[in-house]
Amino acid sequence: MEEINWDDFEKVALHAGTILEVLDFPEARRPAYKVKADFGEFGIKMSSAQITAQYTKEELIGQQIVGVINFPKKQIGKFMSEFLVTGFADENGDIILTTLKGKVPNGSKMV
């Protein structure tokens, strides 16, 4: 694994956001949702997330997540993803979201 320095880490904008809306994404090649999240001062952003195996749309509403908000927008079919939803693969390869145990203001930066 390549080592990075602190300056490299600080370039990655990992911020807290609250999921506002979750929509089906039937056009995606792999099962996914379209997720709308509020990142406070950074605005409301949309992303595609392959999290359908572990989460229902209803249980995601109000969840506070960690997203990378400074990647360039990415075209996924006819959909434009504006941030990266972060998570970890479990033993089956299904994604478990990076969430917060307590509430922080939307837009808070991971330090």
Report whether CATH 2.40.50.140 matches the domain 6-97: yes
Determine contact, residues 38/104, Cβ cutoff 8 Å. Answer: no
**What does the alpha-carbon distance between residue 56 and residue 89 come to, in Å, rounded to a whole number?**
17
83-97 tens-digit pLDDT:
999 999 999 999 999
Where residue 85 falls (left for φ over 0; alpha for ψ -120 to 50; beta otherwise) is beta
pLDDT > 90 fraction of the chain, expressed in percent and rounded: 93
Total-model pTM: 0.94
Determine contact, residues 75/103, Cβ cutoff 8 Å. Answer: no
